[in-house]
Structure 1
């Protein structure tokens, strides 16, 4: 995602400058069903493990604390610009 575009918090509606970018780092694991302990770290190419399809980044508003998809902050800024 392009972090050089404006953001506007969709919750508080006032913050345009203070944000935390949260990079999501995925680690596939196999857990013991009884204890919950990690038994094995799984390769990205394991045919029995579904590959993570989620967002690479999330954004947190530095004013109200909302954490959501980066696209939501971008669209909210664009919508306010068009008004």
Structure 2
């Protein structure tokens, strides 16, 4: 998180952002009722894939866009190359 950001949506915000921590929790639910049967499953069964997404996402503090950090970094790099 030491790279400059630029919002790819509003294209003006370079300073106001929110970091959203993503904390995955594996659960198993009852297919009829939707009730949680099991939480924080340590040993996932073969058909339950573990979470493979980013640890956090970034939200623009101006327009509210929520995306992966790399999009904000790439937009800032693209803007700097054009100057």
- Structure 1 residue runs of 4+, over 3 Å off? none
Instruction: Give the Cα separation in 2 of the matches to 1:46 and 1:55.
Output: 20
Q: Is 2:58 the counterpart of 1:59?
A: yes
Aligned ranges 1:37-52 → 2 under 5 Å: 37-41=35-39, 42-43=41-42, 45-48=43-46, 49-52=48-51
Number of residue pairs matched?
Answer: 80
Per the alignment, residue 4 of structure 1 pairs with 2
CA positional deviation for 1:35: 1.1
Per the alignment, residue 19 of structure 1 pairs with 17
Q: TM-score, normalised by structure 1?
A: 0.91
Q: TM-score, normalised by structure 2?
A: 0.91
Structure 2: which 5+ runs fail to align?
A: none
